[in-house]
Structure 1
Amino acid sequence: MIYSRILPFLMLFAVFVVSCKTDDTEETAADAIQMDLFSENLDQELFSCKSVKDVQNFLNKHPHLSSIYFTDSPVDSAQFTSYLYNILQNPDLQAFKKQLDSLIGNRNTTILNPLQKAFKNIKHHYPDFKAPRIEFMVTGFTGNDLYISDSLIIIGLDYFGGPSARFRPDVFDYQLKRYQKEYIVPAIIFFTSNRYNKMDAADQTLLGDMVGYGKGYEFVKQVMPDTPDSLILGYSGENLRRTYNSQLQIWSYFISSKLLYEKSDLRKKKFIEERPFTSEIGEKVPGAIGRWLGWRIVGRFMAENRKVTLVELMQIDNAARILQESGYKGEPDDQE
């Protein structure tokens, strides 16, 4: 499985709030797992290049970058080495790189240690799991934000400087909030869940998409139990509170509009893909509201079936069964 230029297009993955935390016994068992996490600061190596030849030697040393990371280069391969070298010589980029080092902070503390802890929790549930190698890059947005496969993760740190950074990625304003360092690890774990998230390919309903996303979010919550829901889902705290308090009205709209078993891609996108808000329901309802509802359904299913493990949940490919056994009807938890 391979994912690149991930965050702007999260809503294109149709295979994917109350969640069950892993208990203390499981966390203790996961902490005891031996796992080495290998990482490379390729950005430092790249910025040490002093000539076009040095850049070419760097690319020759790491040939995978040309084929999987620099996939959206604005120039052809014959010109790319010179193009990249010229970017590296730009004083603005050099100043941006120094600022990023300060904004991101210690990479072990910010990224690698939380990743290792999450990977240990995954291995606790899936003993065959092997941690991928981690590579860091800064290229002035020439490469992707994230590349994720089973064996390799490349993190384009230039995308994650946050609101204080001199430069921000060229995405819509409502997407920018996720381009901060705090979102890196939850995004990686969400896409890691894809390899375990069994879905029925024949189920083309909106409900199938909703529950698929919900299972992915639940996976993140269980392997990163201390992570705020806002970092997992990408909603602000205010949107989460407002949506939670309005869920009965939101659910009623889905039911009265007969959306759960809708199969039209055009109509499904309105409730699954990213938008500033869901205009069909109201301007205060955030975009991708179907994803949020999917997580509510999965969360209620787990609450009603406490013996179901994370592994068992991810193996269930029947979205209608999860909805039925969840008993979810749009009620906030304090009313259930």
Structure 2
Amino acid sequence: MKRSFYLALVLITTLVSCNRTKSPDVKGIEVDFELIPFYEELFAIAPDNFQYEAERMKEKYGSYLEAYSMGIIRIGSTEDEDFVGNMSFFLAYEPNKEVLDTVNIVFKDRDALRSKLEKAFKHYRYYFPEALIPDVYLHISGFNQSIVIDSSWVSISLEKYLGRNCDFYERLAIPVYLRRFMSPEKVVPDVMLSIGMTEYPYNSKTDDLINQMIYEGKMRYFVRKMIPDIPDTTLFDFNTTQMEWVRNYEKDMWQMIVEQKHLFDNDRMVLQRYIGKSPFTYYLGQESPGGAAIYLGYRIVESYMKRYPETTLADLMKINDGSQVLMEARYNP
């Protein structure tokens, strides 16, 4: 009995911690950013009083309020004549008040969130010394985009990270397989993933499966460098069973893709079935996790970096030719 428990413990530890990278010493790196709980100040305004607070909010939050109004909650420009009325309605909308109460409970420890962001930003500055560290806003969006990013700030829809079992997601009929992306531990990884994808956007000049696999794998490699102790399950959005599955069937997955001649396929449906968010990866069977090919892309990138240890993370992120990475990685699962 003791031996069985020990083996199970080893297995769980391996699934969670395997493939972590050694963390560089970032203690001496300084990062300067503000964590701004915008939603608190906004929802502290009584709906009937917003007409008296609108100009103050415009002056204080400027272009951010404009982006929030137009792009996040989509009520129009702050200069529109019906802006005050639309924002007052948004603040008075009863479900938003319920969401606010839950957000305040789940994210009551903002010091912990700031600490995690600071640690990730220090790693970002370590690998990219000239990078701008953005301010981070916290908002409520009405369940719109999870992360919104601009040149000098990142903004997080906190209600998109309330936990897999949050009742709101059930009421909104969000599929169960998508709810695993909606937990508090995903906030910082999603912020860093968004930064990586913004700074190094996908080059669709050659848009086939291998290029998408390498790009998505490269972005997960970037996130792991920003958060060296991130569990694999969080990095890839798999549960422990799914993580075990992709490890056990890595070679089989690769052989199937090659044998089916999908590697250089550019059919949109084929790409979506390998890369997209879904209950499972269509070509790999119902026991596979959705987006399993992203894991293979990550493993190819990992193989490439092991063969070329002199390659910096900045160098890697600038490589847009997935076929080149595959060829030089000599990936052999």
1:152 corresponds to: 153
Tell me the alpha carbon deviations over residues 199-253 of structure 1, each in whole angstroms, 9 at most, x when there is no partner.
6542222101100111100001111100112212211121111111011111111
1:43 corresponds to: 39
Shift of 1:20: 6.1
Q: Larger deviation: 271-280 or 301-310?
A: 301-310
Runs of at least 5 residues in structure 1 that lack an aligned partner in the other structure: 1-16, 332-336
Matches within 5 A, 1:78-227: 81-89=84-92, 93-109=96-112, 111-141=113-143, 143-168=144-169, 171-197=174-200, 200-227=203-230
- 1:275 and 2:278 matched: yes
Q: Does the aligned pair in 2 maintain the 1:99–1:165 contact within 8 Å?
A: no
2:13 corresponds to: none
* Distance (whole Å) between structure 1 residues aligned to residue 187 and residue 274 of structure 2: 24
Question: TM-score, normalized by length of structure 1?
Answer: 0.82
1:251 corresponds to: 254
* Distance (whole Å) between structure 2 residues aligned to residue 286 and residue 43 of structure 1: 35
Runs of at least 5 residues in structure 2 that lack an aligned partner in the other structure: 1-16, 60-64
* Distance (whole Å) between structure 2 residues aligned to residue 319 and residue 140 of structure 1: 37
Shift of 1:79: 5.3
The structure 2 residue matched to 1:294, chosen from 290, 297, 301, is: 297
* Greater helix share, structure number: 2
Q: Which amino acid is 2:150 matched to?
A: S
* Distance (whole Å) between structure 1 residues aligned to residue 203 and residue 166 of structure 2: 42
- 1:309 and 2:307 matched: no
Q: Does the aligned pair in 2 maintain the 1:19–1:299 contact within 8 Å?
A: no
Tell me the alpha carbon deviations over residues 236-282 of structure 1, each in whole angstroms, 9 at most, x when there is no partner.
12111111101111111101001111122222221111111123221
Q: Does the aligned pair in 1 maintain the 2:161–2:184 contact within 8 Å?
A: yes
* Distance (whole Å) between structure 1 residues aligned to residue 295 and residue 196 of structure 2: 17
Distance 1:20 1:327, change over 3 A: farther
Q: Larger deviation: 35-44 or 180-189?
A: 35-44
Q: Which amino acid is 1:205 matched to?
A: D
* Distance (whole Å) between structure 2 residues aligned to residue 48 and residue 20 of structure 1: 42
Which structure would you say has the larger RCO, counting Cα contacts within 8 Å and 6 or more residues apart? 1
**Number of equivalences:** 305
Shift of 1:92: 5.2
Q: Does the aligned pair in 2 maintain the 1:145–1:159 contact within 8 Å?
A: yes
1:13 corresponds to: none
* Distance (whole Å) between structure 1 residues aligned to residue 82 and residue 274 of structure 2: 42
Shift of 1:68: 2.6
Question: TM-score, normalized by length of structure 2?
Answer: 0.82
Shift of 1:305: 2.6
Shift of 1:165: 3.5
The structure 2 residue matched to 1:34, chosen from 24, 30, 33, is: 30
Question: In percent, how many aligned pairs have the same letter?
Answer: 21
Q: Which amino acid is 1:34 matched to?
A: E
Q: Larger deviation: 224-233 or 320-329?
A: 320-329
Q: Does the aligned pair in 1 maintain the 2:75–2:87 contact within 8 Å?
A: no
Distance 1:72 1:213, change over 3 A: farther
